[in-house]
Amino acid sequence: MKKYLYGVDLGGTTVKFGLFSFEGNIIENFEIKTNTSDEGIAILPDIAKAILENMEKNNIIQNEVNGIGIGVPGPVSSGVVNRCVNLGWGIVDVKNDLEKLTGINVSVSNDANVAGLGELWQGGGLGYSNLVFFTLGTGVGGAVVVDNKVIDGHAGAGGELGHAPLMDVPYLCNCGKTGCLETVASATGVVRVAKDYLTHTDEPSVLRILEHISAKDVFDAAKANDAIGLKTVEYFGKYLGYICAVVAQTNDPEAFVFGGGVSKAGQIILEVVEKYFNQYAFYALRGKTQFKLATLGNDAGIFGSAYLAKQL
Amino acid sequence: MKKYLYGVDLGGTTVKFGLFSFEGNIIENFEIKTNTSDEGIAILPDIAKAILENMEKNNIIQNEVNGIGIGVPGPVSSGVVNRCVNLGWGIVDVKNDLEKLTGINVSVSNDANVAGLGELWQGGGLGYSNLVFFTLGTGVGGAVVVDNKVIDGHAGAGGELGHAPLMDVPYLCNCGKTGCLETVASATGVVRVAKDYLTHTDEPSVLRILEHISAKDVFDAAKANDAIGLKTVEYFGKYLGYICAVVAQTNDPEAFVFGGGVSKAGQIILEVVEKYFNQYAFYALRGKTQFKLATLGNDAGIFGSAYLAKQL
C-alpha cells in the first residue's frame, strides 16, 4: 500500500526534503548540502542516498512510497532539466536518473512551479484547482496550475512570468530583454523604481535619508503615506495587475497567489494589484478572481514536490 | 460499441452539425435554422430533434454514440452557459438539458474554444497537444488548449484573448474597456488603424482612393509595399505578437494558430506576428514556438465539438 511521499526542494546551496503521509501530513523534514562540484555530478546520488537512508531509519519499504517529487532551479520538460546554472548542470534527465538510483517513481518540475503547486495543495491557494502563483523575491518566478497540474510548457517556460514583457518599462533585465516584469515587481525592481523616483523628483521622502533602501523600506514608506513610497507601490501594482489581467484572459484562474520576500508587505500588495487588475481585466472577471498571499514560506517547495509525488 | 460522434456548432442564425466516426472521419454534414424567438427556448429541443432524426436515418442506436459536443457563442463553465446575446439566452444548463433531451452524454464549450480544439485535432494545429488559437474576424476570439483539453476557466473567460488588454492602445472596445486586442487585431481593428494613419499622415497610399476599406485591402496594400498598408500591418503584428509573448510566458504552448477572415491574408500575418513575438518573448522560446494558419475554415466548430464528444 502506498503510504508515503517524498518532496524534494533542490536549491543551489541546500537540498530540503519532506517525508509526507499520502494524505499530505508532514512527518519529517531534513536537509543536506548541495554539492555543486564537478558540474553537480554528485547531486542526484546524494539525494537518492538521503532518501534511502531516511526510509531505512523509518522502516519504510520501497512499495510503500508512492513517489518522489522534486523541484529544480531550471526549465524542465518531460522530466529532463535543461541547464541549471546554480547547480552546474547542463542537460540532466532527473526523472530517469533518480528513478534508477532509488527504484521509486519520480516527478520533476521547476522550483517556482512546485512552490505554486504547494500553495495550491496546502497554502494560500487551498481549495482551488486553478491558480497562478508569483514568487516576488530577488527575481520573479511564477507557476501556472490548471486542474491541479502544473504547466511546464513545451520549452519549460510555462509560468516564467518574471519575464512577461511590458511594453513601456525601460529597465534592462538580466535575461537580456528590456521591460520584463521582474525589473519592476521583484525586490530589486521595487528598489530600482523607488530610486528612479527619488532621482527624478524633488518630493520629500523618508527614503531619502536611508543609506541602503530595501523593498520592505519602500512598502513601509507607502504604508506611512510617503509620496515616493506610494508612487512606487502604484507602479508595482499597475504592471503586476496588468500582467495578471492578460493571464486571466488566457487561463481565467480562480486565484492569483503571491509569495516571496516582497509579499511579506502583506495586504497592501493584494489591494494595489487587484485595483489595477480590475482596471485592465474583462468585465466578467472583475470581483470574481481572488487575490491571496502565500502561507507556506520556504516550505512551499517540499509541499509542492510531495504533491507532484502524490499525482504519480 | 461507441462508433459515432456528433459535433454541433451553434450560431445565431444557423446550427451546423457533423456526424463523425469515432476515429474522426466526417460522415455527414447537415444544418438547421436557429430559432431565437421566445428567448431561444426551442433551440435545444430543435438540436435534439435534428440529431435523433439523423440517427434514425442512419440506423444509429443510442449506445453507438460516444457523445455530442457543442460549441455555443457565450461563456461556458461546467456545461452551463451564462448569457448568449445572439441566442436570446440567459443562464442555460446546456449539458444537462441536452442530455435529458437525447439520452446521450454532452460536452459544452465556447464556440471559439471549440474552433481551436478542431484546429488542434485535424487542422492547422494537427500534431500538437498544446496550442493557442486566435480567430481574427469581426472581433477576436481565442482558445487555449493544454494537453488536448480546452481551458474554459472558472468564469468562462479562458481564451478570451480578444479582450487581452494593451496599455498604450487608445481605442474603445465594445466591451467598455479601452485598448482590448480586438480593437487593433480584428478585421474592424485593422481598418480602424489604417484609417487613423490615413487621417494623421500625408503619406501616399492606394487606400486613399477607396470608398470603403476592408482588412483585405489593407493587407493587399502592404503586400504591394504601400506605406500605410505596411505601417498598419506592423501595428497589428506588434500588438498581436506582444500578447502571444505574454501568453507564451504563461503556458508555453507548442504553437499559435490563426484563423478567421483576417488570417486569409496568409503568410504575411505569421511573419509579422512572429517577428514581434521574437522581440518580446523569453530567449528560450525564440524560434521554438510555431506560428501556423488555421485550415478548417467554417468547419472548425463541428470538428472541435466532435473532438469534445470523443473526449467524453
Q: How far is CA A45 from CA A40, A73, A140, A305, B266, in A?
A: 10, 18, 30, 18, 52
Query: Hey, of B76, B152, B178, B252, which one would you mutate to test binding to chain A, going by the most A CBs within 10 A of its CB?
Result: B252
- Based on the domain organization, do B207 and B65 belong to the same domain? no
Strand A106-110 vs strand A65-72: parallel, antiparallel, or unpaired?
Answer: parallel
The whole-number pLDDT of residue B85 equals 82
Pairwise CA distance, residues A246 & B246, whole Å = 7
pLDDT of residue A74: 86
pLDDT value at residue B83: 84
CATH of the domain at A258: 3.30.420.40
B1: pLDDT strictly greater than 80: no
Domain shared by A15 and A163, yes or no: no
Q: Are residues B115 and B136 in the same domain?
A: no
Where helices occur in B76-186 by DSSP H, the ranges are 94-102, 111-122, 182-185
All three cell numbers of B135: 480567430
pLDDT at B114: 95
Q: Is the pLDDT of residue B84 over 90?
A: no
Q: Name the burial class of residue A83, with classes exposed (0-12), middle (13-18) and buried (19+) by CB atoms within 10 angstroms of its CB.
A: middle
- B85 in A contact zone (CB under 8 Å): no
Question: Which DSSP letter does residue B65 get?
Answer: E
pLDDT value at residue A75: 85
Please, which pLDDT band fits residue B129 given cuts at 50, 70 and 90? very high
Q: What are phi and psi of A55, to 5 degrees?
A: -60, -45
If asked whether residues B109 and B78 sit together in one domain, one would say yes
A103 class by beta-carbon count within 10 Å (0-12 exposed, 13-18 middle, 19+ buried)? exposed
Whether A163 sits inside 8 A of B132 (CB atoms) is no
pLDDT at B154 over 80: yes
Cell of A27: 512527518
pLDDT-flagged residues of chain A (< 70): none
B156, B164, B251: residue with CB nearest A153: B251
**CA pair distance A67, A71, nearest whole angstrom:** 13
- Answer yes or no: are the C-beta atoms of A132 and A277 closer than 8 Å: no
CA distance B273 to B124: 16
Residue A6, exposed/middle/buried by CB under 10 A (0-12, 13-18, 19+)?
buried
Residues 6+ apart with CB under 8 A from B59: none
Shared domain check, A282 and A147: yes
CA A211 to chain centroid, in Å, comes to 30
Q: Which domain holds residue B47?
A: 4-120+299-310
Percent helix, percent strand, percent coil in chain A, to nearest 5: 45, 25, 30
- Decide if pLDDT at B90 tops 80: yes
| B206 in the same domain as B65 | no
Looking at the fold, whether B69 and B147 belong to one and the same domain comes out as no
The minimum CA-CA distance between A209 and chain B, rounded to whole Å, is 34
| Same structural domain, A10 and A147 | no
Q: What does the pLDDT read at residue A84?
A: 85
For residue B86, what pLDDT band results from cuts at 50, 70 and 90?
confident
Q: What is the pLDDT of residue B220?
A: 98
Asked if pLDDT for residue B219 goes beyond 80, the answer is yes
Same domain membership, residue B108 and residue B209: no
**Same domain, residue pair B116 and B142:** no
Per-residue model confidence (pLDDT) at position A283: 85
What is the pLDDT, as a whole number, of residue B265?
97
For the entire predicted model, the pTM comes to 0.93
> How many domains, in total, are found in chain A?
2
Mean pLDDT of chain B: 95
B245 touches chain A (CB under 8 A): yes
**Contact state of B160 with A249 under an 8 Å Cβ cutoff:** yes
The tens digit of pLDDT for each residue in A11-45 reads 999 999 999 999 999 999 999 999 999 999 999 99
pLDDT in tens, B31-58: 999 999 999 999 999 999 999 999 999 9
What does the pLDDT read at residue A268? 98
CA distance A287 to chain B (A): 11
Residues of A in contact with B240 (CB under 8 A): none
Q: What is the pLDDT of residue A85?
A: 82
The answer to whether A43 and A280 are in contact (CB under 8 A) is: no
State whether B228 and B92 are in the same domain: no
Chain A touched by B151 (CB under 8 Å): yes
**For B181, how many CA atoms within 13 A lie in the half-sphere containing its CB?**
29
Q: Does A9 touch chain B (CB under 8 A)?
A: no
Contacts of B168 in chain A (CB under 8 A): 167-168
Contacts A247 to B, Cβ<8 Å: 246, 250
Residue B159 and residue B143 share a domain:
yes
Say whether residue B119 is in contact with chain A using an 8 A CB cutoff. Answer: no
d(CA A140, CA B136): 33
- Distance separating alpha carbons of residues A217 and A232, to the nearest angstrom: 11
Provide ipTM, 2 decimals: 0.93
* Grid coordinates given for B61: 442506436
Query: Any chain B CB within 8 A of the CB of A214?
Result: no
